[in-house]
Amino acid sequence: MNLVLKLSGHLISSGERIDHRLMAEYARLLRELYEGKGKWVVVVGGGEVARRYVEVARLLGADEVMCDEVATMITRANARLMAACLGDVAHQRIPTSTEELRELAVEGKIVVMGGLQPGQSTIAVAALAASIIRAERLIVTTDVDGIYTSDPKVDPNARPLPQVSLSQLSRMIAELPQTAGKYPLIDNLAIAVLQRSGIPCIYLNGRKLEDVKRAITGERVGTLVLP
């Protein structure tokens, strides 16, 4: 089985600290499930730490491209921590291009990576990785139980959606800002890549590791996103 797991930066870095315990739990889960067969890629986001760096970069007069570059550096640092946590089941080299990803994505070791280039969210990177390794599914972890009709953190009437299409998702994000450090749910590049590849995507609560395990093993949890 080929698989891509997008580990949200919101989960591992919130407030003033990095949740090393959650990273360790993910490492244990992946070591438990990965048998050295198939190509697995873990894409790690930047989270609150990246957003703080982006805010400072803007205050210092940086343009949006430079802000993206700063955020990308943080995602790669997070990825390096995750790779170290995984130990010998993962490549310790963090790919910084699709060419390097292709080189490393062979059976036997998990590839861990962060961002690639300006203008791309790590969800877009995860979609690209899924296309490159021909993944059976892309699992996107968030800090809520899936995709809702509106933001459940601000709208008490938000309803969870068991299934959505990419076209529906595109309409949902159409009026939301997509600037460095702020890519809500998904970005347009990720949608285009998933539409082209036809790879199903699952959004779920990344703090519920049993649900993550169920999704990896093929059970239905969270929100299923179909082309």
Q: Which residues contact 222 (CB under 8 A, 6 or more apart)?
A: 145, 146, 202, 203, 204, 205, 211, 215
DSSP codes of every residue in 126-158: HHHHHHHHT-SEEEEEESSSSEESS-TTT-TT-
pLDDT tens, residue by residue, 36-90: 889 999 999 998 889 899 999 999 999 999 999 999 999 999 999 999 999 999 9
Helix (H) or strand (E) holding 103: helix 98-104
Question: Would strands 137-142 and 111-113 be described as parallel, antiparallel, or unpaired?
Answer: unpaired
In angstroms, the CA 38 to CA 2 distance is: 5
Q: What is the pTM of this model?
A: 0.93
Q: Which of 227, 225, 222 is nearest to 160 (CA)?
A: 222
All structural domains of the chain, each given as residue ranges with its CATH number in brackets, are 3-226 (3.40.1160.10)
pLDDT tens, residue by residue, 139-170: 999 989 999 988 888 888 889 999 999 998 88
For residues 200, 203, 207, 213, the Cα torsion angle rounded to the nearest 10 degrees is -20
Computed over every residue of the chain, the mean pLDDT equals 91
Burial of 36 per CB tally in 10 Å (0-12, 13-18, 19+): exposed
pLDDT class for 196, splitting at 50, 70, 90? very high
